[in-house]
Amino acid sequence: MNTPSSFWTRLAPRDISLRRGLVLVTVVTAIFTGLYLSQWGERIERRSAHPVAFQIRHFLGMDPKIDPRLKVYAFDDSTLKYVDDEDLTLKQWADTLESFVKANPKAVLIPKLFGTPRGRSYARTFVKRLERLKFPIITAAVLTRDASRASYPLDRDFYSLEALSAAGKKIESLDSLKLPPADTLNAIGPHPSIQKAFSHVGHINYYDDFFFSTFTRVTEKTALPAAPFLLAESLYFDDGNLYADGRAVPADHHGRVLINMGAPSKYYERIYALKSVLKRAEHGEQVTTLPENAVVLLLFMFSPNVDMTQSPFGPVPEGLVLNALVNSVLTNQWIRFLPMGALWVAIFCLIGGALGLYFQASQFWIILGGMAVSIFAAGWAAFSYASMHTPWFFSGLGLLTTGATVFLEKYRLIDMKTRRVRAALDGLVPKRQLLEIIKQPLAELTKPSEHVTTIMFIDVIGFYLTAETQAPATVFLSLKELLSRLTNTIHEFNGIVDKTTGDGMLCFFGYDYVTGKVDPDHANKALACAIEIQRTSLKLNLEAHEKHKALFPLRIGLNTGNVFIGDLGNAERMDFTIIGHAINFAKRLESACEDYCVMLGASTYDLVTTNADDVRIKKKMLQIKHYQELVEGYEVDPLANLQIERQAALAAYWNFAHKVQHSPRWEVPESTHIDAHTKTHGSGRVVNFSQGGMAIELDQYLARGVILEFSIESNSTELADELKKIGLSTLVGEIRWGRPKSQGCYLHGVALQNLTETQSQEIQRLLRSVVTSRALKKTG
């Protein structure tokens, strides 16, 4: 059964944490959705998205059809020249409107304020003449914050929001209407002297955003409808939505409709000069060319007085916008809004974020681009063929933005991870493996794990001694070259360099950072690598001796055990390393090893299968810190068949080392017996001595670092008695080196511990006195 944790593990993206990815997607989605809902978003959409959608619809030949009942006359330049004034007198207006009596239109809409009419003395007659007309005359009012002018009385039913409730229903809350709240506006309409002449008055406020408010609140309970909506035979609100002639008007949450306009040329073709009507009216003739149930629209569009506004087709006269709105009222050709537009924007933002999280490079860009094009195409198709306004622009842009943001953040992290991993592992693992490691998810790569590996410690013997005899730059470059050679050799055997320690290296074998698995043959590979390193070291040191360069003998310790592998670094720096007790023991094995040899722990020895004739393995007893009992180790001599070369290299190194550190040493003749009796390792013979140390033969092979407690005595008791007098009946020394001397006999170099300068000199004097009857041979 899959556990929740395993489910989330499989769900997690490869190169960015799921939590970080979700937070980033959520933040970008919230920002983008908020932008879509803001005024800035509306402005961006109408300036960028609307022109594209309208132009594509026109290109596809899907512009809205113009109602044949709509008859438009314009007070154009030719009419202006004919009238020789910018407006008609009230008498001319009455004559003009009466010329439509025979045609009996459904209504006449004059989007003009009539605030200061010409020929005001004719006002009473004007009112009487228009009151006799059988068709309604609709004119305009404007909404302003100027309170100095007289307000138009909003005392009719179609101004009362409560009266505009659907039949049999009552608007329970005026707040439920899709209308913005009242904004202390003042409705300025026709001059009071002629107000009764007009059956309806509506606003013509257009705010240059290609939206038109259906109703604009003047007070909380009254609102002024847009003049074109007064052409509807029925106008009411139901469940907060506006209905005209029983059909819903698709308004946005601000109570606005998007103007459903086609190419301006189609409207210009159907506009006629008002001059032709004026000529008929002057001669008492009737207009007979109107279609049945026509709606007459009288516009003012002469050059000095035309108001231009921005549209998806570029700047157009405001009269064309009003023309398009009238056409929508007559034909019910509205642009509808896809419900929950913000939700769609958010959904596509989330989809884009998911693509950025889970897809790689070329795959991502192809899918993201394809989806964005599909969203755009679907939005254009919905607008062109179904008059459906969808948030295609912000949905597609949100998909692209969120996807690209998450993707680029992911690759920023990948690049950062690559740099950090490369900085942490470059040169420490084989290059082919490094390239594969970089591809691994960071979470998997840095997660600590426990494995059995073989650890290798390499130490450069006497590095600081060498540094005292050479120029720092020379020593540095020589050491750098040596470590580079060691690294290459380790990589050849699939080893990993954990760290360099200045004069040494910590490495391990068996673990694969790419697969996370362990090579079962890691012990043999580690030993083979160590043997190759020591043989190469011998060759390089002999060559360096001939060239009078610094010599760098090596000691190597190998131990197999459990270690934790992982990243111990921080956000600024990665530090892939291993930790565990097995590492400490590997270091102890290295320090117990002789020059040009390899010391194995028992766990490694049990795993190796080396039976080569040119390799000699001997058991050694090791001293472990904080433990009294010695433990077994196995010293591998890779130079078993190269003893002459080995001795030459050792002699060369010690000759080199003695240039700065020389201590005289005296041999004890075989005829003179000075015996050493240890507490735990039997008895042996002192072979030679110097101030502060001696060489002792033992039948046990002890490793470097073993602490030896012993007493010394000669054939007579004089030596023991003298040592006892000065409080040195028992001496303490540390094994500094050891080597086989003969079958079952091993020679050890012992450095005496815890002695003062005077005590060291006294021991040397006593040892020399023991052999005074013999000839002393000075060596070293």
Query: Residue 328: what pLDDT?
Result: 94
State the Cα–Cα distance between residues 32 and 341, nearest whole angstrom.
12
Q: What tokens does 499 get?
A: 């760290």
Tokens of 592: 């117990």
- Mean pLDDT within 324-330: 94
Q: Which residue has the higher pLDDT, 230 or 416?
A: 230
The sign of the dihedral angle between the CA atoms of 757, 761, 762, 767 is positive
Q: How confident is the model at residue 544 (pLDDT cuts 50, 70, 90)?
A: confident
Within a domain: residue 9? Answer: no
> In this predicted model, which residue has the larger pLDDT, 570 or 453?
453
Same domain, 364 and 238: no
The residues with which 683 forms a beta bridge, in sequence order, are: 677
Nearest-angstrom CA–CA distance, 94 and 585 = 114
64 lies in a domain? no
DSSP classification of residue 287: P
Segment 313-318 mean pLDDT: 89
Q: How confident is the model at residue 634 (pLDDT cuts 50, 70, 90)?
A: very high
Q: Cα separation of 565 and 448, whole Å?
A: 5
List the single range of 28-37, 67-76, 164-173, 380-389 with lowest mean pLDDT. Answer: 164-173
**Is residue 132 within 8 Å of residue 101, measured between CB atoms?**
no
User: CA-CA distances (angstroms) from residue 562 to 229, 454, 484, 586?
Assistant: 84, 9, 28, 12
Buried/exposed code over 688-708 (b: 16+ C-beta within 10 A; e: otherwise): bbbbbbbbbbbebbbbbbbeb
Is residue 117 located within the same domain as residue 250? yes
CA distance 229 to 243: 10
**Residue 107's pLDDT band (boundaries 50, 70, 90)?**
very high
The total domain count for the chain is 4
What is the dihedral sign for C-alpha 67, 73, 77, 78?
positive
Q: Which of 6-15, 276-285, 429-438, 611-620 has the lowest mean pLDDT?
A: 6-15
Q: Reply yes or no on whether the pLDDT at 681 is more than 60.
A: yes
130 touches 95 (CB < 8 A): no
CB atoms within 10 A of CB 447: 12
**Residue 530: its pLDDT value, please?**
95
What was the pLDDT predicted at 15?
Answer: 60
Mean pLDDT of 27-52: 89
Q: Is the CB of residue 59 less than 8 Å from the CB of residue 284?
A: no
**Position 289 in a domain:** yes
Distances (CA, A) of 51 to 309, 372, 373, 436: 14, 18, 17, 50
Residues 292 and 396 in one domain: no
Mean pLDDT (whole number) for 612-630: 81
Question: pLDDT-derived band of residue 5, with 50, 70 and 90 as boundaries?
Answer: very low
pLDDT score, position 438? 61
Mean pLDDT along residues 552-567: 90
Q: What is the pLDDT of residue 479?
A: 84
CA atoms within a 13 Å half-sphere pointing along the CA-CB vector of 120: 9
- Mean pLDDT (the chain) is 85
What confidence tens digit (pLDDT) does each residue in 404-453 have? 988 888 888 777 777 766 666 666 666 666 666 666 665 556 677 888 99
User: Does residue 201 sit in helix, strand or coil?
Assistant: strand
Highest mean pLDDT, choosing among 148-157, 213-222, 404-413, 520-529: 520-529
Structure tokens at 410: 């992911």
Same domain (yes/no): 612, 735: no
- Phi/psi for 465 (5° steps) reads -65, -40
pLDDT of residue 777: 44
- Cα–Cα distance for residue pair 682/709, rounded to 1 Å: 11
Which of 476-480, 512-516, 691-695 is predicted least confidently?
512-516
The mean per-residue pLDDT over the stretch 352-380 comes to 91
C-alpha R_g of the chain: 51
C-alpha 341/C-alpha 258 separation (Å) is 15
CATH number at 769 reads 2.40.10.220
Q: Of 284, 304, 332, which closes a domain?
A: 332
Which residues form the domain of 385?
16-59+339-421
pLDDT digits (tens, 9 = 90+) for 703-735: 888 889 999 988 777 888 888 888 888 999 998
pLDDT at 392: 93
Average pLDDT over residues 628-649: 88
> Could you tell me if residue 172 is inside a domain?
yes
* 150 & 24 share domain: no
Both tokens assigned to 570:
């921080």
Residues 493 and 578 occupy one common structural domain: yes
pLDDT exceeds 70 at position 467:
no
Least confident of 116-130, 138-152, 597-611, 748-762: 138-152
3-class state of residue 611 by DSSP: coil
Domain identity same for 673 and 687: yes
pLDDT average, residue stretch 541-557 = 88
* Mean pLDDT across 534-554: 89
Let me know if residue 658 belongs to a domain: no
Residues constituting the chain: 780
Pairing mode, if any, of strands 598-601 and 554-567? parallel
Whether 250 shows a pLDDT value over 80: the answer reads yes
Give residue 661's pLDDT.
Answer: 47
Q: In the predicted model, is pLDDT for residue 383 greater than 60?
A: yes
Task: Compute how many other C-beta atoms are within 10 angstroms of the C-beta atom of residue 292.
Answer: 10
Q: End-to-end CA distance of the chain, in Å?
A: 75
Same domain, 638 and 602: yes
Q: Are 261 and 271 in contact, with CB atoms under 8 Å apart?
A: no
Which residue did the predictor score with more confidence, 571 or 181? 181
- How confident is the model over 26-41, as a mean pLDDT? 90
Residue 429 pLDDT: 67
**pLDDT exceeds cutoff 80 at 232:** yes
> Does 402 share its domain with 455?
no
Domain-embedded: residue 589: yes
pLDDT of residue 473: 78
254 vs 17, residue with greater confidence: 254
Can you read off the two tokens belonging to residue 278? Answer: 């004026």
Domain end among 396, 421, 446: 421
Q: Which residues contact 279 (CB under 8 A, 6 or more apart)?
A: 82
pLDDT at residue 266, rounded to an integer: 93
SS3 state of residue 619 = strand
DSSP string, 227-265: GGGGGSS-EEEETTEEEETTEE----TTSEEE-----HH
Mean pLDDT across 313-324? 91
Nearest one of 595, 615, 671, 606 to 633, comparing CA atoms: 606
Where do the H-state alpha helices sit in 220-360?
264-268, 275-282, 318-331, 341-358
Which of 143-147, 438-442, 455-459, 675-679 comes out lowest in average pLDDT? Answer: 438-442
Cα 695 to chain centroid distance, Å, stands at: 66
* Euclidean distance between CA atoms 516 and 520, whole angstroms: 13
Is residue 660 over pLDDT 70? no
Using one digit for the tens of pLDDT, what is the confidence trace for 576-610? 788 888 999 999 999 888 899 999 999 999 999 87
Say if residues 255 and 179 touch (Cβ distance below 8 Å).
Answer: yes
**Residue labelled with tokens 């472990």:** 624
pLDDT band at 358 (very low <50, low <70, confident <90, very high): confident
DSSP 552-597: --EEEEEEEEEEEEEE---SS---EEEESHHHHHHHHHHHTSPTT-
**Top-confidence range, 464-478, 572-586, 749-763:** 749-763
By the 8 A CB rule, do 653 and 553 touch? yes
CA-closest candidate to residue 117, choices 145, 95, 160, 86: 86
Residue 547 has pLDDT above 80, yes or no: yes
Is residue 711 domain-resident? yes
Instruction: Between 286 and 741, name the one with better pLDDT.
Output: 286
**What string of DSSP letters covers 713-766?**
EESSSHHHHHHHHTT-SSEEEEEEEEEEEETTEEEEEEEE-S--HHHHHHHHHH
Do 324 and 191 lie in a common domain?
A: yes
**Is the pLDDT assigned to residue 4 strictly greater than 50?**
no
The amino acid that residue 117 corresponds to is P
Q: Determine which of 2-16, 78-92, 338-352, 576-590 has the lowest per-residue pLDDT on average.
A: 2-16
> At residue 165, does pLDDT exceed 80?
no
- Find out whether 205 and 141 touch, Cβ atoms under 8 Å: no
Hey, what amino acid is at 234? S
Same domain, residue pair 130 and 245? yes
Among the candidates 389, 421, 453, a domain finishes at: 421
pLDDT for position 523? 94
- Give every CB contact of residue 537 below 8 A, 6+ residues apart in sequence: 552, 553, 554, 596
Q: Is 193 exposed, middle or buried (0-12, 13-18, 19+ CB in 10 A)?
A: middle
- Residue 2 falls within a domain, yes or no? no
Residue for token pair 């060489």: 695
More confident site: 742 or 98: 98
C-alpha 398/C-alpha 376 separation (Å) is: 12
Q: What is the pLDDT of residue 171?
A: 56
| 271 and 375 both lie in a single domain | no
Rounded-to-integer distance, Cα 115 and Cα 369, Å: 56
Nearest to 736 by CA among 527, 594, 562: 594
Q: Look up tokens 């004890």; give the residue.
A: 668
